[in-house]
Chains A and B, each alone.
Chain A
C-alpha cells in the first residue's frame, strides 16, 4: 500500500464516529471495512429488535427488547378475560426480562469495546504511519484475539446459566411469589419491596409483640448451620489426619488393605448409605440399638434421630463416616510432599515420633491445606445431602408447624423444603438464599485471595 500522509486527527475522529454508530469510525476513517461492517450489523440488529413490534408488524418502538424490559418492571397485568394459556405469566416475564437485560449489558460492553478499539487502532495506524495490510491485521488479531476468543464461551455460559438464575433468585425475594395465592399464570406476582425481609427478620410481629416464629426459626437454623459447618469440617479433617498418620506409620502392615476399605464410604453414593444409616439408627427397630440392648450396654434405646440435640450429634458422627476418607487422602498427599530430610534431621536430634508429628507434620500439613479447609467449611454450610438423606431435617420442633424447619435443618435444606414442599414459599426461600450467599462470600474471597494462584496472577 502506498504510504500517504495519515491525518493524526483520526485518533479523535474515529472514536467519536464509532460512538455515534457502531463501526462507523472503523469504516470511514480506519479502512477496517469488515470489522466495521460487523459492528454496524450488530447495532442494526439491536435497533431492529427495539423498534420493530412483531405482534403488530409495525415500527412503534414496542420491540421485544423494550417489551421484555418493561415486563421485568411491571410483572404483567391482569387479563382475566383471556384463557389461562394466553395470560401474562409474571415469572416468565421476569426471567425473560433478565435475559434481555443481560443481552443489553453485553451489547453495551460491545459498544464500548468498539469505541476503544477504534481509538487504539487509530493510534496504531498514526504511529506506524500506514494502514496495516491484510496479513498484518490477521497476525495481529491472532495474537490479541486468542485470549478473548478463548474466554468468550465461558463468559456467555456464565452470563446465562449462572448470573441470570442468581439474579432471578435474588429478585424473587422482593416479590410475593408463593402458593397458594400467587402462582402464575392464573395469578399475578407483584413486587412487595422488603416485606419478606420484614417477615423473616423482625423479632416481633403484630400489635401484641408476639415473638415472630420465622425469626425464631431463622435464628435457630442459622446458628445450627454455622455450628454444624464448623464441627463437621474439623471432625472429618482430624479423623482423616489421624488415620493417615497411622497408616503411614511403618509399624502397621498391609496399610493398602485398610486404605481400600476406608475409601468405600466416599465411593458409595451418600444417598444410599445415609438411607441405610437412617434405618440402622432407628431408635426402636434399628439393629444398632437392638444390639446395644442385647449386649446389656444400655437399657433404654438411644434416641439417635428422635431427640433434637442427639440428632444433631448423630448427624455430625455419621458425617465423619462419610467424610473422613477424603480428608485422609488429602492429608496423606500433603504429608508425602514433606521432604524426609526434615524427619531424619529431627530423629538425629533425638526427637521422638510424637514430637516430630507435632512440630513438623502438623504445622506443615495444616498450612498447606488451610485454604481447602476453609473451602470445606464453606461447602459444609451448604451440605444439603447429609441432612436431607439422614434426618430430612427432623425431628420436628414447635415452630416446624408454621415454618417447616426441623431441628437438624440447615439453611440450605430449609430452602429446599420451602421451595419444593407445599405450601411453596419461594419468596421466603429466596430471602434465605440471599442470606446464605452473603455469609459465604467473605469465606470464599478470603481463601481465594490468600492462595498463591491468585497472588501470582500477573504474567
Chain B
C-alpha cells in the first residue's frame, strides 16, 4: 500500500511540475510574441502611424502598401497612387549585402591569419600587443568618427563601400583574432610539423593544412562578421551620401528621424524584411552556434 502511494505521489508531483513548467513556457512565449505581432501588424498598416491604439496587434485593413512603397524603385510611382514615389530599398539591401560579404571576407582573412600567428609564433611584445588590441577597442567611438572621416577622405574612401568595410573589419580585428587564436591553441601541432618536415614553406602549410581544419570556427566567424554591419547607421551616415550608396540602416533610420519624417510603418516593413532572413539564419545556425560556443567553453 505504501509503495503504491509513494509511486502515485511521485507521479503526481512530477505531473504538477510538468504542468507548471509548461505554463511558464507558454506565458513566456506570449510575452515574446506579443511585441513581435505588433511589429508584423505595423508593417501591414496602410497609414503612416505605428502607434496603434488598439489592443489587438492587427490593423483594421491590412494592406501591402508599405511593402509596395519599399519595393518600388525610387524613380517610379507606386502603383495605385498618383504621386508617391518608391524608395531605393532594394539598392540599400544590395549595398548592405555587398558590404556584409566584403566585411566577412576581409575579416576572416585578417583574423584567421593573425590568430594563427599569435598562436604559433613567438616574438617580442606579443603579450602587450594582444592586450592592447583588446583594450583599444573599448574607447567610445563617436568623436573618433570625425578622425576616421578625415582618414578616409585622404585615401579617397569617402562615399565608398570599401572604405566602410575597411573600418568595420579593423574594428573587429582585436576580438576576433583573439577568438581564432584560442581555437588554434587547441589544435595539435603534429600535422603542421609533419608538413614542415616534408619541406613545405610556412605559407603553404598555412593555406593548405591549417585553414581547412579550422573550418568550424571560421564558419562561426563568418556568421558574426556577416550579421554585424546590417543595422549600424551612425557611421555610414557620416561617410555615405548618395542614395544609391546608402545602407539599409541609414535608409530606414532616415524614414523616422525628424519632425516631418513620419514613415513609421514603412520603417517597420523595411526592418521586418531584414529580420526574416536573420531569424532564419539564426534558427538554422543555432546548432552551429551551440557547438562552437561549447567549443570555446571546452577550450577554456
A280 in complex: contacting residue of B38, B121, B145, CB < 8 Å = B38
CA distance A183 to B230 in the complex (A): 32
Interface assignment of B42: CB less than 8 Å from any CB of chain A: yes
> Are A382 and B140 in contact, CB atoms less than 8 angstroms apart?
yes
Chain B residues contacting A168 (CB-CB under 8 Å) are 143-144, 146-147
Complex partner residue of B113 from A98, A150, A160, A412, CB under 8 angstroms: A150
Given contacts A95-B150, A158-B133, A252-B18, A333 and B231 within 8 Å (CB-CB): no
Q: A368 — which chain B residues lie within 8 A by C-beta?
A: 297, 300
Partner of A337 from the list B31, B51, B298 (CB cut-off 8 Å) is B298
Segment among B73-81, B84-92, B123-131 that sits at the interface with chain A: B123-131
Q: How far is the CA of A307 from the CA of B144 in the complex (A)?
A: 34
- B70 on the interface (CB 8 Å rule)? no
Contact of A150 among B36, B114, B264, B293 (CB under 8 A): B114
B299 is an interface residue with CB less than 8 A from chain A:
yes
**Please, which residue of chain B has its CB at the minimum distance from the CB of A149?**
B203
Tell me the bound Cα distance from A265 to B33 in angstroms: 9
Q: Is A8 positioned at the interface, with any CB of B under 8 Å from its CB? A: no
A459 contact from B29, B122, B233, B300, Cβ within 8 A: B122
| Segment touching B, from A12-20, A122-130, A271-279 | A271-279
The answer to whether A264 touches B36, judged by C-beta atoms less than 8 angstroms apart, is: yes
A38 contacts the other chain (Cβ, under 8 Å)?
no
Checking A276, A433, A437 against B38 with a beta-carbon cut-off of 8 angstroms, the contacting residue is A276
A433 to B145, CA, bound (A): 13
Is residue A200 within 8 Å, beta carbon to beta carbon, of the partner chain? no
Contacting residue for B28 out of A151, A262, A445, CB 8 A: A262
With A161-B167, A332-B290: A415-B29 Cβ-Cβ less than 8 Å: no
Residue A452, interface by CB 8 Å:
yes
Residues on B with C-beta less than 8 A from A243 are 28
Q: CA separation between A282 and B38, bound complex, in Å?
A: 14
> How far is the CB of B179 from the nearest CB of chain A, in Å?
9
CB pair B114–A266 under 8 Å, yes or no, is no
Decide if B6 is an interface residue (CB 8 Å cutoff).
no
**CB of B4 within 8 A of chain A?**
no
A276 touches B148 (CB 8 A): no
Q: Are the C-beta atoms of A275 and B171 separated by less than 8 Å?
A: no
Which B residues are in CB contact (< 8 Å) with A147? 117, 121, 123
Q: Which of B29, B138, B253 contacts A261 (CB 8 A)?
A: B29
0/1 per residue, B14-51, Cβ < 8 Å to A?
10011001101100110111111011001000000011
Q: C-beta contact mask, A306-332 vs B, less than 8 Å → 1, else 0?
A: 000000000000000100000001101
B127 near A457 with CB under 8 A, answer: yes
B274: CB under 8 A from chain A? Answer: yes
Cβ of A11 under 8 Å from chain B? no
Q: Please give me the residue from chain B that is nearest to A162 by CB atom.
A: B136
Q: Does the CB pair B126–A267 fall under 8 Å?
A: no
Contact call B145/A165, Cβ cutoff below 8 A = yes
A270–B274 Cα gap in the complex (Å)?
Answer: 12
Which of B61-69, B97-105, B281-289 makes up part of the contact surface? Answer: B281-289
The prevalent SS among residues of B at the interface is: helix
Contact partner, A165, options B113, B148, B202, Cβ 8 Å: B148
* Minimum CB–CB distance for B161 against chain A, Å: 16
Contact of B170 among A150, A158, A419 (CB under 8 A): A158
Contact A437:B142 (CB < 8 A) given known A95-B151, A287-B54: no
Whether the pair A268, B39 counts as a contact (CB closer than 8 A) is yes
A251 is an interface residue with CB less than 8 A from chain B? yes
Task: Contact check, A294 vs B279: say whether CB atoms are below 8 A apart.
Answer: no
- Give the complex CA separation of A99 and B149 in angstroms: 13
| Chain A stretch 254-298: residues in CB contact (< 8 A) with chain B | 258-273, 275-277, 279-280, 282, 285, 287, 290-291, 294
Q: Is the CB of B138 within 8 A of A444?
A: yes
Instruction: Give the residue of A91, A336, A440 whose beta carbon is less than 8 angstroms from that of B146.
Output: A91
Does B294 lie within 8 Å of A333, measured CB to CB? Answer: yes
Contacting residues, chain A, for B156 (C-beta < 8 A): none
Residue B243 lies at the interface, judged by CB distance under 8 Å to chain A: no
* Cβ-closest chain A residue relative to B268: A272
B21, B50, B53, B297: the one contacting A369 at CB < 8 Å is: B297
- For residue A214, which residues in chain B have a CB less than 8 angstroms away from its CB? none
User: Knowing A166-B144, A251-B17 touch, does A269 contact B274 (C-beta < 8 A)?
Assistant: yes
Which residue of the partner chain, among B14, B35, B117, B256, contacts A273 with CB atoms under 8 Å? Answer: B35
Most buried by A among B127, B148, B150, B230: B150
* B residues near A416, Cβ cutoff 8 Å: 142, 234
Given A246-B24, A273-B39, do A459 and B121 touch, yes or no (CB 8 Å)? Answer: yes
Say whether A301 faces chain B, with CB atoms less than 8 Å apart. no
CB of A400, distance to nearest CB on chain B (Å): 19
Q: Determine if A166 and B139 form an interchain contact, defined as CB atoms under 8 angstroms apart.
A: yes
Q: Which 6 A-B pairs have the closest CB atoms?
A: A165-B144, A168-B147, A272-B271, A333-B294, A267-B279, A268-B275
- Could you jot down 28 A-B contacts, CB within 8 Å? A146-B203, A147-B121, A154-B177, A164-B151, A165-B143, A170-B139, A243-B28, A265-B32, A269-B275, A272-B267, A272-B275, A273-B36, A275-B267, A279-B51, A287-B38, A333-B290, A382-B138, A382-B140, A419-B142, A437-B138, A441-B135, A441-B138, A444-B135, A448-B130, A451-B300, A453-B182, A453-B300, A454-B131
Seen from chain B, the residues whose Cβ lies within 8 Å of a Cβ on chain A are 14, 17-18, 21-22, 24-25, 28-29, 31-36, 38-39, 42, 50-55, 57, 110, 113-114, 116-118, 120-123, 126-127, 130-131, 133-148, 150-151, 154, 166-167, 169-171, 173-174, 177-178, 181-182, 185, 201-203, 206, 230-231, 233-234, 249, 252-253, 256, 264, 267-268, 271-272, 274-275, 278-279, 281-283, 286, 289-291, 293-294, 297-300
